[in-house]
Structures are given as C-alpha cells and as structure tokens.
Structure 1
Amino acid sequence: MMTEEKENIENIYVVGIRLRSLKVYYFSTTDPNLKVGDVVIVKTVQGVEAGKVVIPPFVPSENFEPPSPLKPILRKATEEDLQKIKEYREKEKEILQFAQEKAKILGLPMKMLACEINFDYSKITIHFASEERVDFRELVKELAGQYKTRIELHQVGVRDEVRYLGGIGICGREVCCHLYLQDFESISVKMAKEQGLALNPLKISGICGRLMCCLSYEYKTYQEIKASLPPKGTVVETKQGKGIVVDHHVPLNKLVVEFDEERRELISLDEVEKIYKKEDKEGEKDKVLEKILKMLEEEED
C-alpha cells in the first residue's frame, strides 16, 4: 500500500499555467508530455477556465512551495474545447459592444476594456475604466437578463487600461504589461535617478502616463554595482594622478573620475591604486578632498 502511494506521489508533476489575467498559476498533472503553448482546462476559485502552459511539467523539489495549494489540471483541451474557446472569444466582442451601448444609454461614464467568459459559462467578467465611481447595478441587471449568467464588472486604473488594450512604448515595442507582466510594481523617480536617466517626464513615463515599469528592471543591479564602487566625492589615486569620483558608469562597471575641471576619464576599479575614504559626518568637509584641491591650487600658482 505504501509503495503504491509513493509511486502515485512520484508520478505527480507541477506545471505553470497562464490564465487570461496574465498571471501564472501552478497546477499538478500526471502528464509529463505537456508542452509550452498547450491549452489546458483548469478549475480555479473563479470557476472553470482555459489556460496556456508556460512552464513545462517538472518534478517539484522538497523546497518547492507554491503560492497556493496545487489543484489538478482537468484535461488538455480537446478539439471541441478549442472550438468552444474560439466561439467564446467572438461572443466576448459582442458582449463588450452591447455593454458599452447599454452604459451609454444609462448615462454611465464607462469605457469597456475587456470581457472574459468562464469556460463553463458560470460567469462573465467585464473590465472597464472610469475617472469616477460608477453605480452600475442597473447595467448588471441588463447584462444578466441578456446573457443569462452571473455578471461581474471590474473597474481598473490607468495602468490596467493599457494592460488590456496594449500599445507601443517609446522603445518601439509592445508594452510589457500587455505582453507578460503579471503584477505592477511600485515605481519611483528614485529608480530613474539611480540609473542616471534624465528626469524628463516624457522620457520616463509610459503611454499610461505613469512612470515606466521597466525602470525597475535594472534598478537592483545598479544598486549592487554602485555599492561595490567608491561613492561620488571619493578621492582616488591612479596612474594618471589623483582625482575625484564624480559619477559611475554602471554598464561598464567603471568610475567617472575628474582630474581637473576640463578632464574626466573612465577608470576601472583595478586601475585605482589608492582610495581616500570620505568622512560621512554631516556638516564636515572632506579633509582629503580639501587637501587635494589645495594642492591643485598651489600647482596653478
């Protein structure tokens, strides 16, 4: 009996499934042959849904801890399932248009963005944007009467609006939130400063009008590399003489060293022969820097 249970456990694989929300959820399966791109039918807290395999089946390690308890995949989508999904996608367009027209008739300031029909038709979810709070109870009644199922309206913010509609970013590519981002991170101007980017709102804002999500991609790397380099204001000694660190060139892992007012050089850390540490006490001048500046003044005289 114990042997059978052990064999059953060993035959369980974990697979990553992306649902309509773009989020990836883990499910269990006994089929090791599922491939990335395969469509599967799963049961979630929202009902029965169709999803796509994005992480192929793997045997979980002892340390593997999924965010939520694993549920089994119901089945790999059949030809009938795929046809049903195709029909639902067409119906979703019809529902979205109907909802928009009804909202206009009811005088509701709503912009319909996306519609999702559960695979088992237990629920229809409509995502919309609005600059104000909307009382959509009457609209829900109209939609429920028309489509004979549970209706859920979900108001989203400006970043989600772009996520559902898509668009081209200033980089010339499809916006990340529409392609693959699962969640929105908190983005701050500090991230742009840390990476030495010009603080021009037009250059660091996405088409949603908020700071670009990609500002967070290399932020931690910049922090780590800068932490390994002498900070700005540090006096360093090189073969070219003594100078002051005025900036960091993180992609090259180098220092921008100023030797005089007209000459700045890119210096790698292994070219630095000696580092004079700054005094970090607030209000006190850097004595070493003061000494170097005095020496430079004397040389000019």
Structure 2
Amino acid sequence: MSQILGVKFNDFGQIYYFSSGPFVVREGHSVIVKTEQGMGLGKVFVSQQDLPEDITEDSVKTIYRLAGEEDLIIDAENKALSRDALKFCKRCIDTQKLEMKLVDVEVFFDRSKMIFYFTAPGRIDFRELVKDLVKEYRTRIELRQIGVRHETQMLGAIGNCGQICCCRRFMRKFMPVTIRMAKEQNLFLNPTKISGICGRLLCCLSFEQENYEQFHKRCPKLGKRYNTAHGNVKVTRSNFFRNTLTILPEVGDEIEISLDDWPDVLKATSPDQLSSREPADVESRKSDGPQARSGAGRGQPSGGKRPERSESRPPRGERPARSDRSRPARGERPGKPERSGKSERPVRPERPRPEKKKRPLDSRDGSGQLKDAEKSESELTNRPETGSQERKPAPKNRRPSRRRRRKKPSGGSSSGSSEN
C-alpha cells in the first residue's frame, strides 16, 4: 500500500508531498523525484497514510526511485561545488564593487542550473557578474534576490529567547506580522524587544494572535465607564494570562474580577447579588453605615428595626374591610386643627349646561336658523335607535345648502343678510 511522503530538498526548505508508489520508504531515506525544474534528490521527513487538508490527490506525484550510493556521492560533490561557487562569487562581487550580499548557492542534482541567493538594498546591475559565472561553470545561472527573513532562515541564528530561530527550526511560510499585533498583546513598543535577529517584527507575534482576538472580543472597551454592581466604574486594563479585568470605581481602590463574571456584574444592581459574596463583617458594616442613616431619616429608628405594634391597634384579622369604613367628610375630621388664614375649599358642584334659546325663523339674523338646524341634527345622531321608536324625520325649518340657497333665496331674512 502506497504512503504519503513528505520530502525536503534542504534542511530549511519547504516540505513537498509525494506518493511512495511500489517502493517501501521509511523516514530518513533519500529518494529521487521529478520536479518542474528537473531531477532532484530529497530526504524523507514525514511518512503517513492520509494527505494533509490543504493538499489534493491530483497534485501528489510518485517518486522516481530510491537513491543509491552513486546518487549520494553526486550529492556530496554538488555540495562541495556550491561552497566553491560561493567563494568565487564573493570575489567577483568585491572586484566589481557591487552593493550586494551573497547568502547561499544551490546546485541542482543534475547540475543543469545554479541559483545564487543574495540580498541588496535596491536594484543591482549584475550583468557582468553573470557573464563571469557562466564562463566559470558552463551552466545556467540565476541570481535571486531575497529578503532579510529568508536570509536568517538559510543561515540560522539564536533568537532573544535563547533558542534557534523559529524560521530555521520549523517555519516554512512566513505569516504577515504588524505593529497592531504588538499593541493588542500589550507589549512595550520597544524595537529591540519586539524585533528579531533579521530586524523585522518577531514571527512569534502571529502565533497567539487568534487567541488574543477572541479575548478582546469578550472584553469591554478599555477606558469606558459602565454602571455595575460596584457603581459607576472605569475599565482600566485586562490580563490575558489570568483572564481577568481591572475596574476602578468612583470611590475606593481598583477591583480585579474574572472575565467570566463580567456579564453578571453588569446585570447586578448591588454586590450582594453577585455569586462571590463579601464576608459577613463587611456586610454588617455596610448595613450599619449609610443604609441605617438613610432609614433613620425616613422616620425609622437608627437600629434599622421597625417599632412594635401598639396595643390599641387591632390585629389584621379584626380590622373592618376598606369598603365598610366610614370616612368622614373633609371638614368633619376630628382632631385636625383648622388652618388659620385659609378657608376650606368647598366642593364645586357640576354646573348645569344652559340650553340655547331658539330664535324665531323670521329673525333678521340667519345664524339662528343654522344653529337650530345643527342642534336638531346632533340630537338625532346622539339618540339611540331602538326597535320600538322610529327615527323622526328632519325638521322642516332646516337651513338649505349653499347651492340651493343661492339658487332660491328664502324670504326677507336671506335678502336682508345679503344686503347687509
């Protein structure tokens, strides 16, 4: 049964996946594989049954064959050739006075191509350098410019933590690192502390960035004020490792609470409603403090206890119902002294609504006719309809509409009003 092999062509290079095919391969064996750039010799670092999630079956090729002793000798000669080419290229760079730094030289297994890796601050005109390299090695020459991170990955270094750099040990792809990550992780923005050997931001800042993002989503905004069980507080800082928040109330010292208890602190109205209750002596001091004084101001004793019932007050079961109690009038209440200088305010009776007098129809003013007609209409609409009573017809003296009045003016009243 074929296996999935993870092959590396360099110690610092990326892992490429191949199928073992009919060959029996173990970790540490050397194999010959076909690549887009020709034949190559690699070393097996991973041997497993399943493909990684980001690899498809179509992209996996079968190895060409297992490497023999002759292949291993050729590989050793290629490594010696790369060391000699590195020295020769450095001499040519010094002779031509080029502003570039040579990092490493890679020789293909069949010597069909040689790649020279270098770093430079800008663009370099190395046409004369390529001519010298072609005359010396009689093969294809490629000069590839790389960044400072890849340079550290190829050469290796010791980081600030005292271990070999992550890019040299296990990293194969560089993740983007920004200064925002350092701010979210509450690090001092000191370049010597947050920068690596390469001079760029530490790659390890991106390792825990996802956890910090989830933590900050749960945290309230720093510097904002909230109404909580401890009163109006201000969120001063948060601690990712302890999973806590630090709040500052208006009166008192800072309080550190767990982030899991923050929703309960917002919902509660007093510290007594929280799950973590305060000690009994603190609660007793609080009850003897402002609460007792506020109770005394409302007519209660300073001890906070209600006064005992007097003997003259009947028990609750013997009291008459509220509806049976005879309530004296306002002026007849016994024991209440009369107010000096102020007379008792009598109850204002409801005033009867006076009826409007009907004006005769032969009046010179046409407004009385209109008011009588409106009143008769309102009486008809407000009167409830019953089965026994029939609806009365409209009065005969109803004022005609405007159109009718214009066409057929009635009597002297309409003519008199028009003349006026």
- Bin the TM-score by the shorter chain: 0.7 to 0.9
Question: How many Å separate the matches in 2 of 1:148 and 1:261?
Answer: 83
SS of equivalent residue, structure 1 residue 91: helix
Structure 1 residue 196 corresponds to structure 2 residue 196: no
1:51-96 CA-partner distances (Å, limit 9, x unpaired):
23233132349x7643972221122332332332223222211110
State the aligned residue count. 265
Structure 1 vs Structure 2: percent identity of aligned residues?
37
Q: Does the 8 A contact of 2:238 with 2:245 survive in 1?
A: yes
Question: How many Å separate the matches in 2 of 1:242 and 1:153?
Answer: 65
Q: TM-score with structure 2 length normalisation?
A: 0.57
1:176-222 CA-partner distances (Å, limit 9, x unpaired):
22223222222110000111111111111112211111111111111
Question: How many Å separate the matches in 2 of 1:42 and 1:224?
Answer: 43
Structure 1 residue 175 corresponds to structure 2 residue 175: no
Report the RMSD for the aligned CA atoms in angstroms.
2.8
Q: TM-score with structure 1 length normalisation?
A: 0.77
Structure 1 residue 185 corresponds to structure 2 residue 184: no
Q: In the alignment, residue 29 of structure 2 is paired with which amino acid? A: D
Q: Does the 8 A contact of 2:30 with 2:67 survive in 1?
A: yes
Question: How many Å separate the matches in 1 of 2:4 and 2:82?
Answer: 31
Correspondences of 1:227-242 after superposition (within 5 Å): 227-232=217-222, 233=224, 235=226, 237=228
Question: How many Å separate the matches in 2 of 1:139 and 1:221?
Answer: 49
Q: Which has the higher strand share?
A: 1
Q: Does the 8 A contact of 2:31 with 2:67 survive in 1?
A: yes
Q: Does the 8 A contact of 1:41 with 1:74 survive in 2?
A: yes
Q: Does the 8 A contact of 1:230 with 1:245 survive in 2?
A: yes
Seen in structure 2, the aligned counterparts of structure 1 residues 227 and 116 have a Cα distance that, compared at 3 Å, is same
Correspondences of 1:62-211 after superposition (within 5 Å): 65-66=55-56, 69-211=59-201
Seen in structure 2, the aligned counterparts of structure 1 residues 52 and 252 have a Cα distance that, compared at 3 Å, is farther
SS of equivalent residue, structure 1 residue 275: helix
Seen in structure 2, the aligned counterparts of structure 1 residues 265 and 82 have a Cα distance that, compared at 3 Å, is farther
Corresponding residue for 1:224?
214
Seen in structure 2, the aligned counterparts of structure 1 residues 118 and 243 have a Cα distance that, compared at 3 Å, is same
Correspondences of 1:245-256 after superposition (within 5 Å): 245-256=235-246
1:111-169 CA-partner distances (Å, limit 9, x unpaired):
11011111111111110112231122222222122112211111112222222222122
Question: How many Å separate the matches in 1 of 2:123 and 2:54?
Answer: 42
Question: How many Å separate the matches in 2 of 1:148 and 1:202?
Answer: 46
Larger RCO: 1 or 2 (CA < 8 Å, sep 6+) = 1
Seen in structure 2, the aligned counterparts of structure 1 residues 241 and 137 have a Cα distance that, compared at 3 Å, is same
Bigger Rg over Cα: 2
Question: How many Å separate the matches in 2 of 1:130 and 1:79?
Answer: 39
Seen in structure 2, the aligned counterparts of structure 1 residues 115 and 190 have a Cα distance that, compared at 3 Å, is same
Question: How many Å separate the matches in 2 of 1:32 and 1:60?
Answer: 18
Question: How many Å separate the matches in 1 of 2:139 and 2:184?
Answer: 51
Corresponding residue for 2:21?
30
